Structure 1
């Protein structure tokens, strides 16, 4: 599994993931799981959606 998420992308994903996760928890709905997925892609620096689109944000 090669990385395809760059530093800026990783930062934006982490911030968005935390916001979505906290919003989902505060409203007690399953949308918080999307925040968890976004955080996981930031942590592992790999996004499966980028593969078919041939996107690699590690290259500046």
Structure 2
């Protein structure tokens, strides 16, 4: 897997995902809030499986 998630994109994914998970865990939002696991994982692994399908890459470094 070649990295295709850049630094800013990565940070936003992790923060947004953790926010959704926290809201779901505290009962502020419904079960759908657990979908926050997906952006957290894509941020941690720096790879989004949807990006190659649409030809997108936010990673500035091409050697990762």
TM-score (norm 2): 0.82
* Corresponding residue number in structure 2 for 1:25: 25
d(CA) in 2 for partners of 1:40, 1:11: 12
Q: After TM superposition, give the deviation of residue 31 of structure 1 in Å.
A: 1.9
Match in the other structure for 1:38 = 39
Correspondence 1:51 to 2:52:
yes
CA contact (8 A) 1:21 1:32 kept: yes
Over the residues paired in the alignment, what is the CA RMSD in angstroms? 1.6
Question: How far, CA to CA, are the matches of 2:34 and 2:56 in structure 1?
Answer: 24
SS at match of 2:21: helix
In structure 2, stretches of 5+ residues that fail to align are: none
CA distance in 1, matches of 2:3, 2:54: 15
- Rg larger in structure: 2
State the TM-score, normalizing by the size of structure 1.
0.87
